[in-house]
Structure 1
Amino acid sequence: MMLRLLAPFLLIALMGPASLSRAAEPLPQPRGGVILTISGQIEQTNAPGQARFDREMLQSLGKASFVTGSEVSETPQLFEGVPLRAVLDRVGARGRSIRASALNDYEVSIPLEDLRFEPILAMSVDGRVLTMRDKGPLWIVYPRDAHEVLRDVRYYARSVWQLNRLHVE
């Protein structure tokens, strides 16, 4: 009985104050051009039913990078961006999957279980900022060279380039 009463406080202690305060902070308005819009089952918004991010807002969520091969290059490349998990945490995503959409209206459903592989929203490749012309402004990239299972057509389909929308379901 006592453990049940203490469980919420133990969870808060394990998560730490930084993660709690970050999730509770209101989401600021973008100052630059919006490159990602998130909708669906989210707790934090900065527009009616949506969370809109510019490049600077995304970059403030942390950095992640890895070298890996991709379905569009014969040699491994350095992908740099923000962890997808950090973006979803920031908006308080509550769902089982996300529907990722690209500028050309390509859509794919990505189970939130995929976060175990730590995919990123890449903003640059080999030191070059991604533009619409070369798969940008955002590209969901999995560290496929780190996990054999990621070298599969299912994950290639989930590696959405020219990403501009996420819908949490």
Structure 2
Amino acid sequence: MSLSRITVSMVHAFVLCCCLAGAGVAQDLRVIDGNGKGTSVTLAELDDMTQQAVTTSTIWTDGVATYSGVSLLALLKAQGIDAGAVKLVALNDYAVTIPIAELEEEVPILASRRDGAPMPVRDKGPYWLIYPFDASQDYQTETIYARSIWQVSEIRHLP
């Protein structure tokens, strides 16, 4: 196979990956425990968990939308994580650290859907940590806004 054919094949593969990501193809969420052991959690597995919904506006989007997904605390407990802190990492390597003691039972949620539809990467998906911003001024702080990470791809436990 010639170099030009290899290059064309690589370009086609890259374009296909970009199209799939942009089209909202669900990606697995990587959860890494305090010992460095990683687990992949699929969208179907997240869907099997108790779902929460938050109807709110955000400072990054227009209007009000309903976001649904699992509470971050419930997901962590299901993974055997209940103390310390977690570091959420986005596809672009942006990361936030949140003490587990500061999480509530039902919020924030790791939203996988906006208005019932999966969120594509280009629209802050596949997973976005959402707080009920409109519910209280307590959720309208720089700390909460900074923690509202989108395009989440990994959660790391920091014991």
Aligned to 2:137: 148
- The structure-2 alpha-carbon separation of the partners of 1:34 and 1:153, relative to structure 1 and needing over 3 Å to count, comes to same
Q: Establish whether residue 37 from structure 1 lines up as the match of residue 30 from structure 2.
A: yes
Sequence identity, in percent?
Answer: 30
Which residues of structure 2 form unaligned runs of 5+? 1-24
Whether the 8 Å contact between 1:138 and 1:161 is mirrored in structure 2 is yes
* Superposition TM-score, scaled by structure 1 size: 0.72
2:88 matches 1:100 = yes
Q: Does residue 82 of the first structure (1) align with residue 70 of the second (2)?
A: yes
Q: TM-score, normalised by structure 2?
A: 0.76
Q: Distance in 2 between matches of 1:91 and 1:50?
A: 10
Change (3 A) 1:126 1:34: closer
Secondary structure at 2:96 match in 1 = strand
AA of the residue aligned to 1:168: H
Q: Cα offset for 1:62?
A: 1.4
Q: Distance in 2 between matches of 1:86 and 1:60?
A: 12
Once residues 100 and 91 of structure 2 are traced to their aligned partners in structure 1, the CA distance between those partners, rounded to angstroms, is: 22
Distance (whole Å) between structure 2 residues aligned to residue 147 and residue 92 of structure 1: 30
C-alpha displacement at 1:129, in angstroms? Answer: 1.2
Relative contact order: is structure 1 or structure 2 higher (C-alpha 8 Å, sep ≥ 6)? 2
Distance 1:113 1:143, change over 3 A: farther
Query: What's the C-alpha RMSD, in Å, of the aligned pairs?
Result: 2.0
